[in-house]
Structure 1
Amino acid sequence: MSLTEGQRSSLLALQLGRVLFDEPMSRHTSFRIGGPVDAWVKVRDEVALMNLLQWCKREALPVFPLGGGCNLLVRDGGIRGVALRLGKGFRRLAFVRDPASELQDEGSEVDAVSRFSASVEAVGGVAEPHKESGVALPVDEDGRVRLHVGSGVVVPTLLRFCVRHGLGGVEGLGGVPGTIGGALVMNAGTHEGELGDVVEELYVVDGQERRVLQPTEFSFSYRKLVLPEGALILGALLALRPRSGEQVQQEIRELVHYRKNTQPTGLPSAGCLFKNPDVGPPAGKLIDEAGLKGLQVGGARVSEVHANYVVSDGKAQAADVLELMDQVKNRVQSIHGIDLRPEVRVVGSDPPG
């Protein structure tokens, strides 16, 4: 059920930022699939965020944090409660020892269709102004450069920053869509390095309190971040290493080129649907060997380019994707005896009836 008129009026009165009611989540996910959420709210800053969280607690409404909407499948019945998007106040990049803020414009959404071009554009022109201007990088005694990055920063913006300043450690994010908040939750990266490898602290809201989490309070693993229950990520402290900007740029370009040639482009998707097994062949190879490339349910189809991707023809429903996932999972289990675990997050409810 939607919010009452009283709830709508009181939410708007908070002046949090942008508020949309009964908003189709298909407009906010890289899959371009999903039913309506009761309220979609983009909060301006931390004050607005705290006010929203207090309001949701008072109204007994759940809050669903939303990054760039990647690796996410929203069911056709939509989401009850509030979908939360972090706005301009959460797009800050700054050196810890040189805290002049670089507040980033949001720019275009970076989704499954635009992820490759966005990464290439971001690192398109290598320059190292810290050398040209005579301003040295703020390097700590351990040889690392520490960087504050807000959850609302889009991934290509961080890549551009690292190329420009000559910082290594996040090259594995080349071609990754979405925001840093989403990349943290999914521990994005490659087998050669994941985002969690360079995270030293996480800034979160836990209940109504802003906290700085130390590594003993969170843990990264393959495509997963474990946080205290209810914690909402505001940003992170990254420890990066000085490196030639040209080398950083080249590594990102090579990774984007590889991903562009081995992953589907031009059609909406949510990235890899299943996690790779702990041992043995990756999920895509298992699905391919089961003869499932091109398998289609409704408007959803197993990609002929990469079998661990399901793409939408623009008319797919969540129910189509879920049925396709079940068929793939059952076929792989039958042929290989391996139980595939979903990588994409499935949220929301089915339509009534």
Structure 2
Amino acid sequence: MPPFDGFQDFVRVDVPLAPQVWFRVGGPARFFARPRSLDELLALLDRARQESLAFKILGGGSNVLVRDEGVDALVIQLESPFFSDVSIDDNVIKVGTAVPLTALISQTARAGLAGLEILTGIPGTVGGALRGNAGSRQGSIGQYVRRATVLDASNEVHVRERDDITFADRSSNLDEPVLLSAEFELTHEDPESVVRRMRRIWIIKKENQPYGHQSSGCIFKNPAPDVSAGALVDQAGLKGTRCGGAEVSDRHGNFIVAHPGAKAADVLRLIDQIQQRVWQQFGYELELQIQVW
């Protein structure tokens, strides 16, 4: 009997993942599912565990590099209305983790709620932003979180209050298998002022970072609060370096562009070359910020 017999209406087999990730490279998922409710998600995870099949959650695909051989697992994408609801009550906004971060920022700005505009230009979904404490020099998403609703390894739903959540530099202790929703507490402000700040941040980022598909978010974590991974790559003279179809962006050293025809193996070789050069020249071990599947 196939592992997901009875789930055919929302589980597919051998689904290409390249169209789902920003790099536009990589092989297929053995199984791919978009559950339409919490009940469907729970049933799906129960079946995966019964079959001893690993699962991965795919958000916006901006921080994922899929290997050329693909993923021998169940890949789940939470994008139905159930996982992307947004509600505002005074200065508190509750949002599903499948919501694109850009959409959340725009909606809060229009509602006259300030805070999240500092994240303008950061790709991905709310779930990925929470897990990795997405941020910029102005601050990070974690400082605005009131609570998060999560699904633990036993398929139990829990609400984690702010005092129980730790946010650090591009990381958090939100390590449960699935993040379902979060609440943010923001500040009332004139919508036009918030939107103006958004535009200023966007203009600066657009000038200094590659945007659009065939790239991803930042490849490496900054090795220290005052040490930029991008600056190290730049100082090592690696901007414009190519491995096959993968190239270090000439705009920002912490981005890799996958040109048409590139393979995931090209990106991985280039990552390895960057890590070796930066270690040899500066003594820093660059840790990946993206996930490699």
Q: Which category of TM-score, normalised to the shorter sequence, fits these structures?
A: over 0.9
User: Is 1:290–2:236 an aligned residue pair?
Assistant: yes
User: Is 1:89–2:82 an aligned residue pair?
Assistant: yes
Residue 172 of structure 2: which of 221, 225, 229 is its match? Answer: 225
Residue 181 of structure 2: which of 235, 242, 253 is its match? Answer: 235
Aligned amino acid, residue 338 of structure 1: Y
User: Is 1:208–2:186 an aligned residue pair?
Assistant: no
Deviation per residue, 1:265-303 (Å, 9 max, x gap) = 355112211111215441111111111111101110011
Whole-angstrom CA distance in 1 between matches of 2:261 and 2:112:
43
User: Is 1:169–2:140 an aligned residue pair?
Assistant: no
* 3-state secondary structure, aligned to 2:167: strand
TM-score, normalisation: structure 1: 0.79
Q: Which residues of 2 match residues 94-113 of structure 1 at below 5 A?
A: 94-95=87-88, 97=89
1:256 positional shift: 0.7
Q: Contact 1:39 / 1:83 at 8 angstroms: preserved in 2?
A: yes
- Could you tell me which runs of 5 or more consecutive residues in structure 1 were left unpaired when the two chains were aligned: 98-137, 139-144, 348-353
User: Is 1:307–2:253 an aligned residue pair?
Assistant: yes
Counterpart of 1:189? 135
Counterpart of 2:41? 49
Q: Contact 2:131 / 2:174 at 8 angstroms: preserved in 1?
A: no
1:9 positional shift: 3.0
* 3-state secondary structure, aligned to 1:23: strand
1:77 positional shift: 1.6
1:6 positional shift: 2.0
Deviation per residue, 1:94-131 (Å, 9 max, x gap) = 12x4xxxxxxxxxxxxxxxxxxxxxxxxxxxxxxxxxx
Aligned amino acid, residue 259 of structure 1: K
Deviation per residue, 1:204-239 (Å, 9 max, x gap) = 1112211101234332111112225x4310010111
Whole-angstrom CA distance in 1 between matches of 2:145 and 2:32:
29
TM-score, normalisation: structure 2: 0.94
User: Is 1:9–2:36 an aligned residue pair?
Assistant: no
Quickly say closer, same or farther: Cα 1:217–1:231, change in 2 above 3 A.
Answer: farther
Whole-angstrom CA distance in 2 between matches of 1:171 and 1:295:
33
From the CA coordinates, give the structure whose radius of gyration is larger.
Answer: 1
Q: Contact 2:208 / 2:252 at 8 angstroms: preserved in 1?
A: yes
Runs of 4+ with >4 A deviation: none
Quickly say closer, same or farther: Cα 1:267–1:204, change in 2 above 3 A.
Answer: closer
User: Is 1:69–2:15 an aligned residue pair?
Assistant: no
Counterpart of 2:72? 80
Q: How high is the sequence identity, in percent, across the aligned residues?
A: 36
Q: Contact 2:4 / 2:47 at 8 angstroms: preserved in 1?
A: no
Aligned amino acid, residue 276 of structure 1: N
- Could you tell me which runs of 5 or more consecutive residues in structure 2 were left unpaired when the two chains were aligned: none
Q: Which residues of 2 match residues 94-133 of structure 1 at below 5 A?
A: 94-95=87-88, 97=89
Deviation per residue, 1:308-347 (Å, 9 max, x gap) = 1110112211111111011111111111121111111112
1:7 positional shift: 2.2
Which range moves more in the overlay, 207-216 or 238-247?
207-216
Quickly say closer, same or farther: Cα 1:267–1:38, change in 2 above 3 A.
Answer: closer
- Superposition RMSD on alpha carbons, in Å? 1.5
* 3-state secondary structure, aligned to 1:65: strand
- Matched residue pairs, number? 291
